[in-house]
């Protein structure tokens, strides 16, 4: 299976579902116009379609790309098996993995709407190393550290 981007997603407010867009622009803050942009280690979030599919099956409902608030939805790579320091080249950009999973806060709007959350165990976070644009269909090159 080809490793690629299936969707790129943005939200203007933290703790909300992200909406698919035609492309995202990565800069020194992360994803331009995304609520999570900033000078920190979780500039970009990634989640695999395979993880979304597992959650969809568990709650017996289709979960759309962006519903878990991921910036990049991927296919063909087990993201949660990567480790901090690993890198991805996607289109003209480069990302470095900084964190696997996250602690969810109580009262999360995403959990309330979806009824489940896969991000604590299977979502990953990265910082931007090389700026540029990412769109659905872009291939992903994985570089283990």
| Domain 4-143 grouped into CATH 3.60.21.10 | no
Tell me, what's the pLDDT at 115? 59
Q: The whole model's pTM is what?
A: 0.91
Instruction: Map out the domains of the chain as residue ranges.
Output: 4-143
One digit per residue, the tens of pLDDT, for the chain of length 145 reads 789 999 999 999 987 889 999 999 999 999 999 999 999 999 999 999 999 998 888 778 898 999 888 999 999 999 999 999 999 999 999 999 999 987 665 555 555 555 566 676 889 999 999 999 999 999 999 999 9
3-state secondary structure 34-97: CCCCCCCCCCEEEEEHHHHHHHHHHHCCCCCCCCCCCCEEEECCCHHHCCCCCEEEECCEEEEE
Q: Spell out the long-range contacts of 8-11 with Cβ–Cβ below 8 A and sequence spacing 24 or more.
A: 8/71, 8/72, 8/73, 8/134, 8/135, 8/136, 9/65, 9/66, 9/69, 9/70, 9/71, 9/72, 9/73, 10/34, 10/71, 11/35, 11/66, 11/69
How many CB atoms are closer than 10 A to CB 104? 12
């Amino acid at each position: 299976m080809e490793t690629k981007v299936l969707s790129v997603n943005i939200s203007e407010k933290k703790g909300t579902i992200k909406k698919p867009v035609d492309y995202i622009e990565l800069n020194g803050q992360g994803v331009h116009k995304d609520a999570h942009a900033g000078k920190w280690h979780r500039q970009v979030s990634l989640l695999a379609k395979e993880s979304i599919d597992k959650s969809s099956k568990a709650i017996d409902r289709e979960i759309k790309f962006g519903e878990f608030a991921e910036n990049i939805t991927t296919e063909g790579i087990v993201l949660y098996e990567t480790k901090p320091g690993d890198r991805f080249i996607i289109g003209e950009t480069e990302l470095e993995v900084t964190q696997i999973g996250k602690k969810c806060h109580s009262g999360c709007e995403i959990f309330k709407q979806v009824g489940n959350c896969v991000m604590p165990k299977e979502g990953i976070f990265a910082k931007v190393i090389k700026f540029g644009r990412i769109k659905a269909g872009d291939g992903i090159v994985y570089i283990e550290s």
